[in-house]
Amino acid sequence: TAALANIAMAASGDDAAQTLFILPQEANVLGMRDAGAAADLLPGHRPAAAEASRAEMQRAWGAQLPAATGLTFEQMGANGNIKALVVLDDNPLMLAPDTNRVRKWLQSLEFIAVIDSLPTDTANLAHAVLPETSAWAKEGTTTSADRRVLRLNKGAAHGESRQGWRILSELGARLAERLQPGEIRIKYQSAAEVMDEIAQVVPLYRNSGYRDMDPGAQQHIDGLGPKKAARQPVPAPVSNTNATGFVLSATRGLFTSYEAAAIHDPEADRLHRDDAVKMHPADAAALGIADGDMVAIRNSGGQLSVKASITEAVQPKSLHLPLYYDGGAVAALFDADAPVTVVEVARA
């Protein structure tokens, strides 16, 4: 992540203003936000718009930072000046809502480069694909949801695949040669060097360098850990007042492999626990739908057919379908930033 932040800085000149980088949709996870992988943040949760924050990181990186903050994914799609995109370990055509809109935007760009280990739908649209090592061969660290920094020990890479941080570092170095931003810290030699920089500039990670983790300890970040669980209310759309509409939610399931789902493998959930839409028994009875029947779910965004699972785990007039089903097919039914959507349901 430190390498990517430096690349973005190297690409801050006028000639590069039309090129943006997409981080993984997982950029909302703890570790990536800690390291500054968000449109409005620098490492250590420093506000990117704050002059003091930029000055602090400029001293660490050795070059001027742009005063403007980055763009969110939705802002990228709405910005008509963007001509090129670099996508790292992400698959917007699986995870971003309103799939048809996203596809049209991606197809309108002059150049797309994808850095990934999978032949995803997004990679299939790219003009250039740089093969990255798979998740099981990555080196570096990861931050878990319970606020631990865990060391990743790399496995054997296949073919021409390379570590993502190294691809970013070399790409940034070539951009720097062309744009001449001055001396910047970008030519990293190892993942340990990247982690040492994160430990240096992100206060929460000050005890998370490789030397601290080499004994094998799992490092709690600065003593932080989960303290409680909190229920998050999700308001239903106002438009769900008609008699036939259902409120559909989609979240990640426990059993589906992201890697398999991203390439539309029908065995992504080998025991088929996550490949059905959950429906309340009262609704199923009213529509004449039995457990295991195929149903059609549709709205203005599109339509998909999926097996029905009849259960009281959902409320009446509500449906739930795992996000990874058929490579994120349900995303087409959602508007941007909408936690739920309204759909019609019928037997297929």
Tens of pLDDT, residues 36-72: 888 899 998 899 999 999 999 988 887 788 888 888 8
What 3-state DSSP class applies to 333? Answer: helix
pTM: 0.82
Confidence of residue 149 (pLDDT cuts 50, 70, 90): confident
pLDDT of the residue at 222: 63
Contact 275, 306 (CB under 8 A): yes
Reference 305, options 314, 315, 294; nearest CA is 294
Residues ≥6 apart with Cβ < 8 Å to 236 = 247, 340
Q: What is the mean pLDDT of residues 287-298?
A: 96
Residue 208: which region, alpha, beta or left (left: phi > 0; alpha: psi -120 to 50)?
A: alpha
The 10 Å Cβ neighbour count of residue 271 is: 8
Contact 277, 307 (CB under 8 A): yes
Radius of gyration of the chain (CA): 22
Residues ≥6 apart with Cβ < 8 Å to 270 = none
Q: What is the mean pLDDT of the chain?
A: 84
Between the alpha carbon of residue 317 and those of residues 140, 248, 252, the distances in Å are 45, 9, 21
Chain centre to alpha carbon of residue 156? 25
